Chain A
């Protein structure tokens, strides 16, 4: 990576948070979410909490979320929710940053737990996948030299898509594709009230 990059989302100028907001947040639990290699469906399950989100926000502050696409956490965070598996160098970097800055890190959804749909490429091999996508693609521009994209600003793909817990230690696992809004609520509610996360079988499903 070059040193002169200036336009990463967490480096952009931001409006300072007012003292009133800082005071209101004091004592609340901080939660951060991130989407790695996934489809964002698990975040939609969080949005599906609908009106249940509002009382939760009296106890929890979401310091950064996939909705803002900020990749870095400012300061310490109590809980990190990670959606998606690890499929490129940027995913590894972001996941390690989350591990360093979060007390409790939760794998959310099939991709984070075992690679999910993106891991279908694992049994095929990266070379063959890239060749099919770029070299032998039926939609390639006729006459153009077939090229696999390679640029310092494009994260390099890992040879295999990996579960998060094969890269860093994960504390809890929430299966599902996506986990239901009830399952996401159960996790956030347990965390907000200081209970251990222990999902009933009725909320555990892999599809």
Chain B
């Protein structure tokens, strides 16, 4: 069933069950999403997609609209919130874009640029985070991890067992890689896990900088262009 909502005052028709992000896309308005992947259920972990639904700030990727809903995405205060949430992620980890092989195909980097973040508004923490280089094919670089939990919730082996898990709490939370389960993954499954990671925390060993500058994912089409044509991942 179709329902009608307004996005920044513009009426649009969407299917029942559509999210705030879907409604925004239907209206041609861009709301950046980071942890959301179009092939999977919304995680709602990163909170970058802050938008307003009937006056309340929600995560656009997971909040559903109803008939007559009033959605706001372009307001200055919302843009500031989104930029600050991204800035918190940058300040919290060690995001060394100049030397990261995920540069140019990193969702965090692309989304941050779209929010207008030039440098984080928060003091950089430069945490000492342990990397896990022990696996034969996967390099787990925790410096870049934003704890979106895409890998934790979505990466499974053929028997449905998780490969990545979370341990610790609060600031000590970190992703662990189960080496025994990881060894059972096919090369395609490893490549899919690397691709699923929105930052450069899960990398394939022995590949490196395989796409030249200019040909990388977000060099070819920006994350904004992709989102506006319905590609969100």
Smallest CB gap from A121: residue in B: B126
Indicate if the CB atoms of B96 and A120 lie closer than 8 Å.
yes
Using a Cβ cutoff of 8 Å, how many contacts connect chains A and B?
64
Per-position contact with B for A120-135: 1 when CB-CB < 8 Å, else 0?
1011100000000000
Indicate if the CB atoms of B128 and A115 lie closer than 8 Å.
no
Evaluate whether A173 and B96 lie within 8 angstroms (CB atoms) in the complex, with A119-B126, A124-B128, A207-B103 already known: no
Evaluate whether A206 and B112 lie within 8 angstroms (CB atoms) in the complex, with A110-B97, A115-B124, A166-B123 already known: yes
Q: Determine whether A165 belongs to the interface, using a CB cutoff of 8 Å to chain B.
A: yes
Q: Determine whether B119 belongs to the interface, using a CB cutoff of 8 Å to chain A.
A: yes
Per-position contact with A for B87-116: 1 when CB-CB < 8 Å, else 0?
000100011111110011000010011101
**Min CB gap B172→A, angstroms:** 16
Q: Determine whether A46 belongs to the interface, using a CB cutoff of 8 Å to chain B.
A: no
Evaluate whether A207 and B119 lie within 8 angstroms (CB atoms) in the complex, with A119-B126, A123-B126 already known: no
How many Å lie between the Cα of A123 and that of B97 in the bound state? 16
Q: Which residues of A sit under 8 angstroms from B99, Cβ to Cβ?
A: 117
Q: Determine whether B226 belongs to the interface, using a CB cutoff of 8 Å to chain A.
A: no
Evaluate whether A206 and B109 lie within 8 angstroms (CB atoms) in the complex, with A163-B119, A173-B118, A177-B98 already known: yes
Q: Determine whether B144 belongs to the interface, using a CB cutoff of 8 Å to chain A.
A: no
Can you spell out 16 A-B residue pairs with CB atoms less than 8 angstroms apart?
A107-B119, A113-B119, A114-B119, A114-B124, A116-B96, A117-B99, A120-B94, A123-B143, A165-B119, A205-B113, A206-B103, A206-B112, A206-B113, A207-B100, A207-B103, A207-B109
Q: Determine whether B170 belongs to the interface, using a CB cutoff of 8 Å to chain A.
A: no
Q: Which residues of A sit under 8 angstroms from B118, Cβ to Cβ?
A: 113, 173-175, 204
Per-position contact with A for B178-194: 1 when CB-CB < 8 Å, else 0?
00000000000000000
* Total interface residues in chain A, CB < 8 Å: 26
Q: Determine whether A96 belongs to the interface, using a CB cutoff of 8 Å to chain B.
A: no
- Beyond A201-B116, A207-B104: 15 further Cβ-contacts under 8 Å? A114-B119, A114-B120, A115-B126, A116-B96, A116-B98, A120-B94, A163-B119, A177-B98, A201-B224, A202-B222, A204-B113, A205-B113, A206-B103, A206-B109, A207-B100
Q: Which residues of B sit under 8 angstroms from A174, Cβ to Cβ?
A: 118
**Min CB gap A12→B, angstroms:** 35
**Min CB gap A58→B, angstroms:** 29
B-side interface residues toward A, CB under 8 Å?
A: 90, 94-100, 103-104, 109, 112-114, 116, 118-120, 123-124, 126-129, 143, 222, 224
Smallest CB gap from A166: residue in B: B123
Smallest CB gap from B100: residue in A: A207
Indicate if the CB atoms of B98 and A206 lie closer than 8 Å.
yes
How many Å lie between the Cα of A123 and that of B222 in the bound state? 32
Indicate if the CB atoms of A175 and B123 lie closer than 8 Å.
no
How many Å lie between the Cα of A188 and that of B208 in the bound state? 36
How many Å lie between the Cα of A123 and that of B127 in the bound state? 6
Q: Which of B96, B109, B126 contacts A117 (CB 8 A)?
A: B96
Taking CB atoms and an 8 Å cut-off, the chain A residues in 2-35 that contact chain B are: none
How many Å lie between the Cα of A115 and that of B123 in the bound state? 11
Closest 3 CB pairs of A and B: A177-B98, A122-B126, A206-B97
**Min CB gap B220→A, angstroms:** 13
Q: Which residues of A sit under 8 angstroms from B119, Cβ to Cβ?
A: 107, 113-114, 163, 165, 173, 175
How many Å lie between the Cα of A206 and that of B109 in the bound state? 7
Q: Determine whether A160 belongs to the interface, using a CB cutoff of 8 Å to chain B.
A: yes
Q: Which residues of A sit under 8 angstroms from B94, Cβ to Cβ?
A: 120, 123
How many Å lie between the Cα of A124 and that of B124 in the bound state? 15
Q: Which residues of B sit under 8 angstroms from A116, Cβ to Cβ?
A: 96, 98
Q: Which of B90, B97, B114, B116 contacts A207 (CB 8 A)?
A: B97
Evaluate whether A123 and B128 lie within 8 angstroms (CB atoms) in the complex, with A177-B98, A206-B112 already known: yes
Smallest CB gap from B112: residue in A: A206
How many Å lie between the Cα of A172 and that of B134 in the bound state? 42
**Min CB gap B82→A, angstroms:** 14
